[in-house]
Chain A
Amino acid sequence: MTRKNLLRLIFLVALLASGGLEFLGERYPPEHSWDHPLFFALTGAIACVVLSVIAKGIVSPVLDRPEDFYETDATEYAEVKAKFAAEGEN
Chain B
Amino acid sequence: MFGLLPPAFIYLAAALLLPLLPKGIRPWAFLVPPVLVLLQLSGLQHGDTLTWGFATFELTLLRVDALSMVFGWIFALVTLVAGIYALHNRNTGEQVSALLYSGSALGAVYAGDLFTLVFFWEIMAFASAYLVWARGTAAASAAAWRYLFVHIFGGSLLMAGVFLQVGETGSLAFDAFEGGAAAWLILLGFGVNAAMVPFHAWIADAYPRGTVTGSVFLSAFTTKTAVYTLARGFAGWDFLIWAGLIMALYGVTYAILSNDIRRVLAYHIVSQVGFMVAGIGIGTELALNGATSHAYTHILYKGLLFMATGAVLHATGRSRMTDLGGLYSRMPWVFWAYMVAALSISSAPFFSGFISKPMTISAAEYASTEVAVILLHLASVGTFLSVGLKLPFFTWFSKAPAVPIEVRPLPWNMYAAMGIGVFLNILLGVWPAPLYAILPYEVTFDPYALKNLKKGFQLLLATALVFFLIAQRLKPKAKIQLDTDWFYRAPKAFAWKTTVEPVAAFFAWGERASWGAAAWAVRWGRDPVGTLGRVMGRPSSVGRLAPGETASTTYRASMTLMMVVLLAGVLFLLAAVALGRIG
Q: How distant is the Cα of A11 from the Cα of B462 in the complex, in angstroms?
A: 10
Mark interface residues in A35-78 (1 if CB within 8 Å of B CB, else 0). Answer: 00010111111011111101110011001111101111101110
Report the Cα distance A24→B382, complex, angstroms.
28
Shortest beta-carbon distance from A86 to chain B in Å: 10
Q: Which residues of A contact B482 (CB under 8 A)?
A: 63, 65, 69
Q: Which of B138, B213, B319, B480 has the most CB of A within 10 A?
A: B480
Q: Which B residues from 228 to 274 make CB contacts under 8 A with A?
A: 252-254, 256-257
B463–A67 CB distance below 8 A: no
Residues on the A chain within 8 Å of B477, using CB: 60, 64
A85 at the B interface (CB under 8 A): yes
A47 to B383, CA, bound (A): 11
Q: Which residues from chain A contact B467 at a C-beta distance below 8 Å?
A: 48
A64 with B458, Cβ < 8 A, contacts A75-B138, A88-B408, A90-B212 known: no
Q: How many A-B residue pairs have CB under 8 A?
A: 173
**What separation, in Å, do the CA atoms of A18 and B21 have in the docked complex?**
56
Q: Please give the distance in Å from B485's CB to the nearest CB on chain A.
A: 9
Chain B interface SS verdict (over half): helix
Would you call B41 an interface residue if the criterion is a C-beta within 8 Å of the partner chain's C-beta atoms?
no
Inter-subunit contact B253/A56 (CB<8 Å):
no
- B466, A44: Cβ atoms closer than 8 Å: yes
Shortest distance from the beta carbon of A67 to any chain B beta carbon, whole Å: 6
A59, closest chain B residue (CB): B253
| Interface size class, chain A | 35 or more
In this complex, the member of A38, A44, A55, A77 whose beta carbon has the largest number of chain B beta carbons within 10 angstroms is: A44
CA distance A69 to B319 in the complex (A): 18
* B463 A45 Cβ-Cβ under 8 A: yes
Q: Chain B nearest CB: distance from A7 CB in Å?
A: 11
Residues of A within 8 A of B (CB): 11, 14-15, 17-19, 21-22, 24-25, 32-34, 38, 40-45, 47-52, 54-56, 59-60, 63-67, 69-73, 75-77, 79-81, 83-85, 88-90
Between A and B, 11 residue pairs with Cβ closer than 8 Å are A18-B461, A40-B454, A40-B458, A43-B462, A48-B381, A55-B253, A66-B479, A70-B489, A77-B320, A84-B316, A88-B408
Q: What would 19 more interface pairs be, CB under 8 Å, given A25-B450, A51-B381, A90-B211?
A: A11-B461, A18-B461, A19-B458, A25-B451, A32-B370, A33-B370, A41-B461, A48-B466, A48-B470, A49-B466, A59-B481, A60-B481, A64-B479, A72-B138, A72-B142, A79-B138, A88-B314, A90-B88, A90-B89
